[in-house]
Amino acid sequence: QKEVEQDPGPLSVPEGAIVSLNCTYSNSAFQYFMWYRQYSRKGPELLMYTYSSGNKEDGRFTAQVDKSSKYISLFIRDSQPSDSATYLCAMSSNYGGATNKLIFGTGTLLAVQP
């Protein structure tokens, strides 16, 4: 079993839709939860960062972490064609001497249709 599971998609939605992206994980030591956006043949871009459980909102993006269920989500409101990209969840821990190396999901490919 992978430490981080993410549905690879592809996920296709019409412009303006609310998008929900999710990851599950197995390592209860993870404390930091990130979402990255990666356009084709580019480097990952940090979108959202959350420490421990809870919600965080930034513009059209909302990140949720439920540590009891080991489940994280990213919501995109009013999706735009420019949101079309691969979305990667990532997690890390510095508990017990761990070094905050990021463990990534495989990414979900999102296509927003105009």
Pairing of strands 19-25, 71-76: antiparallel
Decide if 38 contacts 107 (C-beta within 8 A).
yes
Q: Which CB sits closer to other proteins, 3 or 15?
A: 3
x/- map, 21-60, other proteins, by CB under 8 A: ----------xx-x-x----xxxxxx--x-x---------
Tokens of 10: 């592809």
Cα dist. 96→29, 92, 93, 99 in Å? Answer: 9, 12, 9, 9
Q: Which of 65, 70, 6, 78 is nearest to 38 (CA)?
A: 6
The interface region with other proteins, picked from 11-19, 60-68, 71-79, 87-95 by CB under 8 A, is: 87-95
61 binds other proteins (CB under 8 A): no
96 binds other proteins (CB under 8 A): no
Binding site for other proteins (CB under 8 A): 6, 31-32, 34, 36, 41-46, 49, 51, 88, 90, 92, 94, 99-107
